């Protein structure tokens, strides 16, 4: 009998395959980013139907195949239902998933990125934090986790509160990352710095950002 593997992870992508299947990209604690087939996940009442969707976090029992895994069962502890009810927040969440997909690799140590995505989705679901604040914190920390966060560049004119905030984001544990808030003017300053960082370091086009830009235009109008 083929041995199974139990992993803890979050679904980054969920794409239809064939008539009833899905192929998932899952960021796992144990194996980094993996691909896994969810057989018959698009059939009504299939046990994997609810688990084979974006944002689903929990335990997945897998069987290893030649090029991908197959999901035998899933025990989902967090669906992030709040995001599905708020289109704008869902777009921010999908952006976080895209960034994690961009950064991570199979069989790499990706535990910190997994924790960052999970905690950031929780923060998006909390009324205490604005979507813009969570995005700025997530972007800075994602770069720091990947060893690319440069800190405050010498030519920048940065207020003391934002300088402290940047240092805190870079150095704090992911578990303590969303333990603070900042005034609106400081957030606008932090957002500008994050935009500069992303242009210089990532230089990558994320599909979810174009959708977010449409939300921004609608809010301004």
More confident residue, 117 or 214: 117
pLDDT, tens only, 64-117: 988 889 999 999 999 999 998 899 999 999 999 999 999 999 888 999 999 999
Rg (CA), the chain: 18
Q: For residue 22, which of 57, 54, 55, 66 has the smallest C-alpha distance?
A: 54
- Cβ(27)–Cβ(10) below 8 Å: yes
- Cβ(139)–Cβ(204) below 8 Å: no
- Cβ(209)–Cβ(199) below 8 Å: no
pLDDT at 71: 97
> Which residues are within 8 A (CB) of 73 and not within 5 positions of it... i.e. 6 or more apart?
47, 48, 60, 61
pLDDT, tens only, 11-63: 999 999 999 999 999 999 999 999 999 999 999 999 999 999 999 999 999 99
* Residue spans of alpha helices (H) in the chain: 81-85, 87-103, 111-124, 131-145, 160-171, 184-201, 207-220
> Which residues are within 8 A (CB) of 155 and not within 5 positions of it... i.e. 6 or more apart?
none
pLDDT at 1: 45
Q: For residue 35, which of 73, 62, 74, 54 has the smallest C-alpha distance?
A: 62
pLDDT at 154: 54
pLDDT at 89: 92
Percent of the chain with pLDDT strictly greater than 70 = 93
Give CA–CA dist 136/160, Å, rounded: 17
pTM over 0.85: yes
Domains of the chain, first to last: 4-78 (2.40.50.140), 81-220 (1.20.1440.120)
Lowest mean pLDDT among 112-121, 144-153, 182-191: 144-153
Question: What is the CA angle 140-143-144, rounded to 5?
Answer: 85
- Cβ(27)–Cβ(9) below 8 Å: yes
């Amino acid at each position: 009998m083929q041995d199974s593997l139990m992993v803890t992870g979050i679904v980054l992508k969920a794409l239809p395959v064939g008539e009833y299947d899905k192929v998932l990209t899952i960021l796992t604690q144990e194996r980094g980013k993996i691909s896994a087939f969810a057989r018959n996940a698009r059939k009504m009442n299939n046990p994997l139907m609810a688990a084979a969707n974006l944002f689903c976090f929990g335990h997945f029992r897998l069987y290893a195949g030649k090029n991908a895994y197959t999901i035998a069962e899933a025990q989902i502890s967090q669906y992030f239902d709040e995001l599905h009810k708020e289109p704008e927040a869902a777009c921010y969440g999908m952006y976080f998933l895209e960034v994690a997909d961009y950064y991570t690799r199979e069989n790499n140590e990706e535990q910190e990125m997994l924790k960052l995505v999970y905690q950031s989705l929780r923060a998006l679901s909390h009324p205490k934090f604005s979507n813009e604040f969570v995005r700025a914190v997530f972007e800075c920390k994602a770069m720091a986790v990947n060893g690319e966060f440069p800190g405050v560049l010498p030519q920048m004119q940065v207020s003391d509160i934002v300088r402290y905030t940047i240092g805190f984001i870079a150095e704090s544990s992911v578990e303590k990352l969303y333990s603070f808030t900042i005034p609106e003017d400081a957030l606008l300053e932090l957002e500008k710095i994050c935009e500069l960082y992303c242009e210089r370091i990532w230089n990558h086009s994320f599909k979810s950002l174009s959708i977010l830009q449409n939300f921004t235009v609608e809010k301004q109008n």
